[in-house]
Amino acid sequence: MNNLLVMPILIPLCTAVILMFLKEKVLLQRWISVFSGILNLVLACVLVTRIHKEGIQTLQMGGWTPPYGIVFVGDMFAALLVLTASAVSLGILLYSFTSIGAERERFYYYTFFHFLLVGVYGSFLTGDIFNLFVFFEVMLISSYALISLGGTKLQLRETSKYLLINIVSSTLFVAAVAYLYAAVGTLNMAHLSQRIHEAGQGGVLNVIAVLFLIVFALKAGLFLFFWLPGSYSAPPAAIRALFGALLTKVGLYAIIRTFTLIFAEDPDFTNGWIASMAAATMILGALGAVAYNDIPRILNYNVIVSVGFVAFGLSAGTPDALDGAVFYLMHDMLGKALMFVLGGLMIAAAGTDRLERMGGLIRRYPLLGWSFFALALALAGIPPFSGFPGKVLIIRGGLDAGMLTLSLIGLGSSLLVLYSLIKVFRLAFWGNMPDTEPPKVNLKSGTAVAVGLLVLVILMGLGAERVNTYVSQAGEVLGSPRLYIEAVLKE
């Protein structure tokens, strides 16, 4: 048993509760939040190191032996995502200080920020599918508050849509869990895998698998992403960065965990569905990214493309593809956080989010401009940035699995991603200056955060071989569910 597993959940939980009583003391809220973020980052590093040396870690709450009690499980996949989420959330937190606004800070912004992290970390570390639902709801309820915080007309309109979609998906989630429990009599993920293996996946279990896929696809934006471009355009840039970097990734994590561990007995059926949805997501997301001329929607559609790309890696199912999905998921959390931070800084500098009204920003904000150019190369998968190793592994895995069409779609979507971001770079930074030049604003703090995230993206790419040591350990567990089952059930 390892009590360290629950600390990434307890720290933001305790932080959120403390901040509830400090409503008017904004500066103190900031200091406490930063301390909490740094502490979680350090603990995540310790957790990754321990799992690398000692293998999968488990914690049985209350001493109840699995599958009867609540269990937390830390394999390398979950630990790497906790580590990446800790780094990303700390960067977004620092960016919030100069971008979110004093009114939102006084109305419990940091409280909801940390409650959302409780849901994110809990989703990664739980070993029980009902508790996955619980942590999803903690995360979503916090996101409801964050997306509506400020009360603008756009926010209220998009919050209604966002709320409705997630209530529907949560209802389906509860129904899916109930049907699954009725079919196999357990909710522990490792035990579910064992029971489904014994029963043989087919018939009603395949129907339940599709229901789970619909639920998680709605939350991740996999094909069922119709709600995402509008909803993610409504809140301020810091909240968009938090959502784009973490919320869709929790949905992807749930899909990967569910279909490599629980419903892993009929991959031809489940992976076929996932592959079709991945192809449609990459195509539609890439077309959306090149079709629009406002920065929020261009960036939002780029989130959708990456969701499809990770799902492609899962559907291929080869060792290279699974390693690539893990690597690319980590890269994408960093890259999307950086993308939305830079997008927010550009909008603040230009005073508009419309590309045709921007221009000439490179003269006044050269570091911002070249950081965005580097980001475009990273998200397109150009070496030496972190997007390259993950994409290479996924494409190679797809070719090994005989998925030539999906591999070509993946490459084509990467080119369109590059085109969409270079279009933004060209028009916003090198285009004609507007007739009325907006006053220069101080973006030093936000740019420093962006540069810090960019450094992580570069280091992850340059140190890909070292990172892959940990990634391959995560991919090994995804490809061999027996390792997870034995660690949890102690067989």
Token pair recorded at residue 49: 């190191």
State pLDDT tens for residues 410-430. Answer: 999 999 999 999 999 999 999
State pLDDT tens for residues 311-369. Answer: 999 999 999 999 999 999 999 999 999 999 999 999 999 989 888 888 889 999 999 99
Please provide the distance, in angstroms rounded to a whole number, between the alpha carbons at the two ends of the chain. Answer: 15
Q: Half-sphere exposure of 110 toward its Cβ, with a 13 Å CA cutoff?
A: 35
On average, the pLDDT of the chain sits at: 93
Q: Is the pLDDT of residue 45 over 90?
A: yes
Burial 67-97 (b: 16+ CB within 10 A, else e): beebbbbbbbbbbbbbbbbbbbbbbbbbbbb
Structural domain of 297:
3-489
- Phi/psi for 490 (5° steps) reads 55, 45
Residues 141-157 have a mean pLDDT of: 87
Q: For residue 408, what pLDDT is reported?
A: 97
State pLDDT tens for residues 248-287. Answer: 999 999 999 999 999 999 999 999 999 999 999 999 999 9
Closest CA to 237 of 304, 320, 300, 281: 300
Report the percent of the chain where pLDDT is more than 90.
83
State pLDDT tens for residues 440-475. Answer: 788 999 999 999 999 999 999 999 999 999 999 999
Q: Is the pLDDT of residue 193 over 80?
A: yes
Report the percent of the chain where pLDDT is more than 70.
99
Residue 1 banded pLDDT, cuts 50, 70, 90: low
Token pair recorded at residue 46: 């310790």
Tokens 């009599």 belong to residue: 185
The answer, as to whether pTM is greater than 0.85, is: yes
Q: How many domains does the chain have?
A: 1
Q: For residue 441, what pLDDT is reported?
A: 83
Four-point Cα dihedral 435, 240, 377, 349, nearest 10: 20
Residue 202 banded pLDDT, cuts 50, 70, 90: confident
Residues 57-78 have a mean pLDDT of: 90
Asked if residue 312 lies in contact with residue 275, where contact means CB atoms within 8 angstroms, the answer is yes
Q: Is the pLDDT of residue 436 over 80?
A: no
